[in-house]
Amino acid sequence: MPGSPGIFIMYYLIIFIFGAVFGSFFNVCISRIPNKKSVVFPDSSCPFCKTHIKPYHNIPIVSYILLRGKCAYCGAKINIHYFLVELLTPVLLMLLFASQNAQFSIVFFKYAIFISFGLIIFFIDLYHYIIPDKLSLPLIVIGLIFSFLPNTDIGWMSAGIGALSGFLLFLFTALIFQKVTGKDSLGGGDIKLIAAIGAFLGIEGTLFTVLFSSLIALTVLIILKHDRKKHFPFGPFLIVGALVYILAGDTLIQLYLRLFDLY
């Protein structure tokens, strides 16, 4: 824990500011990666009137509120996800920091990277029904690299088995479903994403993510009365499941065990 309340508050303020700035960049990735555009050039512009966005109209969180979610030039409505990503990024990073006992540990930076990739993947899959390889494949490698570093939470063996078991589970599920029904279920992006989750979370985290995300997905589809013949993106549910495990997995597992007198 930081030594004084002032330092404690300063750490969270720094995380919030940097998180909001990174969230703004993640929005660029969400908008451009599916269209195979550079995330660096050109500068941001309104997708409707094509007017270059001034820096003071591009302040994370603040500009969206002041402009009431509309373009300053043509008045076109700005998608709410721009605001959500800029807000969710710092909030999730602050929750992560708190879960790590307010320490900038190797584990904090490991999961900060996962959250960053996860938010981008969440919204791309939600809107475009794809999980680009340029996001999922590097995430697998990064997760495995962290498993070899000192003072990490998941060792290389658990990370390797988690990635492989998740990959094979989803691959076989997709193949069997396709063989039986003649239809596709899980896409290649989902299969690579669960491998990345396995590399980050290990065996236990992979199992938790699969079960939790499946339960949430089933609940949401029932509530929304989703047509079973229509495709739906599973990637966002996997990301939510993984984030829940990262931020509160141990607590939830202990509560579950105590509930059934297994602990």
Q: Mind listing the pLDDT tens digit for each residue in 113-152?
A: 999 999 999 999 999 999 999 999 999 999 999 999 999 9
Does position 3 have pLDDT exceeding 70, yes or no?
no
Would 37 be classed as within a structural domain? yes
Comparing CA positions, the residue from 169, 201, 186, 198 lying closest to residue 235 is 186
pLDDT of residue 40: 81
> Backbone dihedral region of 242: left (phi > 0), alpha (psi from -120 to 50 degrees) or beta?
alpha
Does position 254 have pLDDT exceeding 90, yes or no?
no
Does position 2 have pLDDT exceeding 60, yes or no?
no
pLDDT of residue 56: 85
Mean pLDDT of the chain: 90
Out of 38-47, 96-105, 177-186, the most confident range is: 96-105
Q: Tell me the pTM.
A: 0.92
Q: What average pLDDT does range 235-257 have in this prediction?
A: 91
Out of 10-24, 61-75, 180-194, 246-260, the most confident range is: 10-24
Residue-number span of the structural domain to which 217 is assigned: 130-263
Does position 85 have pLDDT exceeding 90, yes or no?
yes
Claim to verify: residue 70 and residue 172 sit in the same structural domain:
no
pLDDT of residue 231: 78
Claim to verify: residue 15 and residue 50 sit in the same structural domain:
yes
Beta carbons within 10 angstroms of residue 170's beta carbon:
24
Of 57 and 95, the one with more pLDDT: 95
Would 174 be classed as within a structural domain? yes
Claim to verify: residue 72 and residue 171 sit in the same structural domain:
no
Last residue of a domain, one of 69, 89, 104: 104
d(CA 168, CA 93): 31
SS3 content of the chain, % helix, strand, coil (to 5): 70, 0, 30
Claim to verify: residue 134 and residue 260 sit in the same structural domain:
yes
Would 220 be classed as within a structural domain? yes
Does position 163 have pLDDT exceeding 90, yes or no?
yes
Claim to verify: residue 150 and residue 249 sit in the same structural domain:
yes
Claim to verify: residue 79 and residue 144 sit in the same structural domain:
no
- Beta carbons of 87 and 62 less than 8 angstroms apart: no
Does position 103 have pLDDT exceeding 80, yes or no?
yes
pLDDT band at 1 (very low <50, low <70, confident <90, very high): very low
Q: What average pLDDT does range 57-70 have in this prediction?
A: 92
Would 111 be classed as within a structural domain? no
Claim to verify: residue 162 and residue 95 sit in the same structural domain:
no
Q: What average pLDDT does range 196-200 have in this prediction?
A: 97
Q: What average pLDDT does range 65-73 have in this prediction?
A: 91
Would 123 be classed as within a structural domain? no
pLDDT of residue 185: 67
- Beta carbons of 163 and 198 less than 8 angstroms apart: yes
The token pair that represents 253 in the structure block = 């597992």
**Beta carbons within 8 Å of 155's beta carbon, 6+ residues apart:** 147, 202
Claim to verify: residue 87 and residue 166 sit in the same structural domain:
no
**How many structural domains compose the chain?**
2
pLDDT of residue 263: 55
Claim to verify: residue 74 and residue 151 sit in the same structural domain:
no
Would 122 be classed as within a structural domain? no
